[in-house]
Amino acid sequence: MSMPTIFHANAVSIESLLNFPATLNVPTKKWHSAFTKIYCSRTLLSLAEIAKAKKGVNKVSRSPSYTVVNLQHDDESFKIDQTSLVELVKMKDLDKLHEFGGIRGVASALETDFDAGIFGNDQDIARRHEAFSSNTYKKPPSKSLFYFVVDALKDLTILILLGCAVLSLAFGIKEHGLKEGWYEGGSILVAVFLVIAVSAGSNFTQNRQFDKFSKVSNNIQIDVIRNGRRQQISIFEIVVGDVICLKIGDQVPANGLFLDGHSLQVDESSMTGESDHVEVNSSQNPFLFSGTKVADGYARMLATSVGMNTTWGQMMSQISRDNSEQTPLQARLNKLTSSTGKIGLAVAFLVLAVLLVRYFTGKTTDENGNQEYNGSKTKCLKQKGHVVAVTRDGTNDAPALKETDIGLSMGIQGTEVAKESSDIVILDDNFASVARVLRWGRCVHTNIQKLIQFQLTANVAALLINFVAAVYAGEIPLTAVQLLWVNLIMDTLGALALATEKPTKELMDKPPVGRTEPLITNIMWRNLVAQALYQRAVLLTLQFRGESIFGVNKKVKETLIFNTFVLCQVFNEFNARKLEKKNVFEGIHKNRLFLGIIGTTIVLQVVMVEFLKNFADTERLNWGQWSACIGFAAASWPIGWLVKCIPVPAKPFSSYLKWKK
C-alpha cells in the first residue's frame, strides 16, 4: 500500500471520529486536510519509537568512507644510473641523449613530469638522495674548542711555564707550607690558564664566525617546480630530477638539460675561461653546467647531476680543505717569537749555570741565620721575495687565488668558488675598496711593530737587570710573580691599547713592505735599545745603591725596583704609539680606550703594591718613594724625544752581519 493511500485512510477515519460535517467549502477543506496529515505524521512517528523501544532494534554500523590501498614500487631504482647521467652532460653527447629517448626520455627515466616536476615528498627526496647523492660537497669538520685549547698548550712557553708552576708549587709548599707556599706556583698556573683561555676562546670565536658567514653566503635560493607548484628552496636541497627555473643573473645549481625557455645564454667563463657567452637550446646544445651563470634569457632545466658528481662540487671540495699555510706576517711573527723565546731560554740557562757555579764554589752557608731561609708567475714573484696579491672572479682562477699571499675576489660578479678560494671578498665590487683594505693592512702591520717594540723593550730590560744582579749579587730583583704581572700588562692590556690605533693618511705615503724586509726596523732598534739601556741604568742603580740612596731596607728596595720597572713600561707605552714622530701625544684624545687602559694599569699597580703584600712580595711605599718612581719613569719621554733626533741608516742592521758571498 502506498504512502498517500495510508494518509487518506487515516484522514477519513479521523473525520468520522471527529464528526466533521460532510459538506464543507473549499478553503475549509484545505485547512482540514493539512491538519489531518500533520496529525497522522506525528502519530506514526510516536508509534515507530514505541515499537523500536519494545523490539530493541539493532544499530547499523556505517561503512568507512575511504579505502586504504598499500601501493608499493616494484623497483625502487630509476631506469638510468648516475654514471650515465654524468658522462652525458660532461661529454655533451647528443648521440647518447638520443639513445635515451631525448630530454623527455631522460625525464621519464628520472620519473619527472615536464610540467609538474617531481612529486617532492619526503620518500621521493630520500630515494633520489640514495640513488644520486645530495647537492653538497665535502667539507672538513668544524674545529671544536678543545682543538684550540690543545693547540694553545703546544706552545713551548706554555709548557715551560707549566713545568715551572709544578716545580714552584712543590718546592714552595715543602719550604713554606701549604698556607703560603702555593702563592708563586698558583700565580703561574692562573696566568697560564688565562693565556690559554683567551687564546683558545678568541680563535674558536673567530673560526665560528667564519663558518657562519660561509654558510650564509653559500646558501643561495633556487626556484623549482615540485608537485605542480613553483617554490623556492636552498641550493643544497636540489635533487636529481628537479625542474629548475632560471633567469638572468642566476647561478646554475646543478648539471642538467635544457627543457624549454627563450634566448638562454650562459656565461661559462668561470669554468672554461672563455669570455664568449654560450647559447643553450633543446636541439644543438641542451647541456648546462653547475657553477655557470645565466647571462641572458630564461629557461627551465632538468637536474641530472648534483654535488660531488659535478665539476663545481669537486672544485669546491678541494678549496674548502683546511689550509694551514701561514701568511708572511704570521711566519715572521712566529720566527720572531721563536727567536725571542730561544734567547730567553739561553739567558735563563746561563743564569742557572752562574748560580750553580756560585753555589758549588762559593760559601753557601749563613752563620747568622739558619737553613730554613736559603733557596707559476705567482711562485716566481714569491721566490723573488715579493708579497703577491691577485684579483680574480672565475672558478678556474681558484688555484691562482690559493697560491698567492693575498687573494681578492668580487662579491657580486665573482663565483662562489673564487670567493671560497680568496682571502678577501670585495662585497660592493668597487676596486677602490682595495685601497681601504691596504690602509687597514698597513695599520695592522704598524700596530704590531709598535707592540713588538714595546714588549722587546720590557723584555730586554728585565733580562739585563736579572742577569746582571744574578751574576754580581747572586739574587734576582724581579720575582716570577712580578714578571708575570708585567707580561699581563704587555701581552693583554698593552696589546689592546696599541692595537686600537686607527689608520692615518701617512700610512699610504710609505712604500710597501717586502717579504724579506725585517719586522724590526732600524728605527725600532734605535728606540728600544735606548729605552732598554735607560731602564737598565735606573734599575741597576736602585739594585746596588737603592738602600743607601733612599735609606730603606732590602724589601722596600725590591719594591722600588718592581714599581719603577712597571711604571717605565706604562710611560714607554706612549713612546710606542709613534715609531718615528716626536710628538707621541698626537691624536691621543681620539683613542679613549688607550687612555682607559693606561688608567686601569696604574690603578692595578697601586693595588698590587699597596694591598697585595703577600701575593706580590712587596712593601708599601710612601708618597716620596712613589714620586721618585714616577719621576724615573717619566724621564723616558724626553729621552724618547732626543733619541728620535738621531738619524739611522735605511739599510737594515741585520744586513751588516751577513757574510758577502
The average pLDDT across 125-152 equals: 85
Position 654 scores a pLDDT of 66
Share of the chain above pLDDT 90, in %: 15
* C-alpha torsion angle, residues 565, 566, 567, 569 (rounded to 10): 90
Give 209-218 contacts, CB < 8 A, sequence gap 24+. 211/142, 214/420, 217/416, 217/419, 218/416, 218/420
Position 60 scores a pLDDT of 39
Cell of 499: 692595537
Q: Which has more pLDDT, 326 or 543?
A: 543
Please tell me which of 195-204, 251-260, 491-500 the model is most confident about, judged by mean pLDDT.
Answer: 251-260
| pLDDT tens readout for residues 67-100 | 333 333 444 578 888 888 888 888 888 888 888 8
Segment among 242-251, 340-349, 522-531 with least mean pLDDT: 340-349
Position 70 scores a pLDDT of 38
The average pLDDT across 103-126 equals: 89
Position 571 scores a pLDDT of 92
| CA-only gyration radius of the chain, Å | 44
Segment among 556-560, 581-585, 652-656 with least mean pLDDT: 652-656
The average pLDDT across 513-521 equals: 78
Position 73 scores a pLDDT of 43
Question: Would the pLDDT of 564 be above 90?
Answer: yes
Cell of 584: 707621541
What CA–CA distance (Å, rounded) separates 563 from 627?
11
Burial class (CB in 10 A: 0-12, 13-18, 19+), 566: buried
Element (H, E) at 221: strand 221-226
Q: Which has more pLDDT, 651 or 549?
A: 549
Question: Would the pLDDT of 334 be above 80?
Answer: no
Question: Would the pLDDT of 434 be above 70?
Answer: yes
> Which residues on adjacent β-strands are paired with residue 221?
234
Cell of 577: 704609539
Position 56 scores a pLDDT of 47
> In the structure, what pLDDT confidence band is assigned to residue 306 with cuts at 50, 70 and 90?
very high
What CA–CA distance (Å, rounded) separates 322 from 147?
14
Full DSSP string of 256-267: EEEEEEEEEEEE
Full DSSP string of 227-295: TTEEEEEEGGG--TT-EEEE-TTPBP-SEEEEEEEEEEEEE-HHHH---S-EE--SSS--EE-TT-EEE
Position 638 scores a pLDDT of 92
| pLDDT tens readout for residues 341-377 | 778 778 878 887 887 887 777 665 555 554 443 336 7
Q: Which has more pLDDT, 548 or 25?
A: 548
Q: What are the two backbone dihedrals, phi and then psi, of residue 226, each rounded to the nearest 5 degrees? A: -135, 130
Cα 221–chain centre separation: 23
What CA–CA distance (Å, rounded) separates 197 from 102?
62
Segment among 139-148, 222-231, 456-465, 599-608 with least mean pLDDT: 139-148
Supply the DSSP symbol for 113: B
- Mapping DSSP to helix (H, G, I), strand (E, B) and coil, where does residue 391 land? strand
- Using an 8 Å Cβ cutoff, are 306 and 240 in contact? yes
Question: Would the pLDDT of 611 be above 60?
Answer: yes
Supply the DSSP symbol for 304: E
> In the structure, what pLDDT confidence band is assigned to residue 240 with cuts at 50, 70 and 90?
very high
Question: Would the pLDDT of 14 be above 70?
Answer: no
Cell of 77: 631504482
Helix pair angle (433-473, 522-550), 10° resolution: 40
Q: Which has more pLDDT, 517 or 95?
A: 95
- Using an 8 Å Cβ cutoff, are 563 and 437 in contact? no
Please tell me which of 271-285, 399-413, 425-439, 533-547 the model is most confident about, judged by mean pLDDT.
Answer: 533-547
Question: Would the pLDDT of 516 be above 80?
Answer: no
What lies within 8 Å, CB to CB, of 511 at 6+ separation is none
Residue closest to 404 by CA, chosen among 426, 425, 427, 381 = 381
Segment among 325-334, 381-390, 555-564, 584-593 with least mean pLDDT: 325-334
The average pLDDT across 93-111 equals: 89
Q: Which has more pLDDT, 159 or 77?
A: 159
Question: Would the pLDDT of 633 be above 50?
Answer: yes
- Mapping DSSP to helix (H, G, I), strand (E, B) and coil, where does residue 586 land? coil
Question: Would the pLDDT of 545 be above 70?
Answer: yes
> In the structure, what pLDDT confidence band is assigned to residue 58 with cuts at 50, 70 and 90?
very low
Position 67 scores a pLDDT of 39
Cell of 432: 677602490
Position 430 scores a pLDDT of 78
The average pLDDT across 263-284 equals: 83
Mean predicted lDDT score pLDDT of the chain: 79
Cα distances from 529 to residues 257, 414, 448, 627, in angstroms, run 71, 49, 18, 25
- Mapping DSSP to helix (H, G, I), strand (E, B) and coil, where does residue 409 land? strand
Which amino acid is present at 447? N
The average pLDDT across 205-230 equals: 83
Supply the DSSP symbol for 100: T
Share of the chain above pLDDT 70, in %: 83
What lies within 8 Å, CB to CB, of 625 at 6+ separation is 550, 552, 556, 560
Q: What are the two backbone dihedrals, phi and then psi, of residue 300, each rounded to the nearest 5 degrees? A: -120, 140
Residue closest to 382 by CA, chosen among 325, 320, 443, 463 = 325
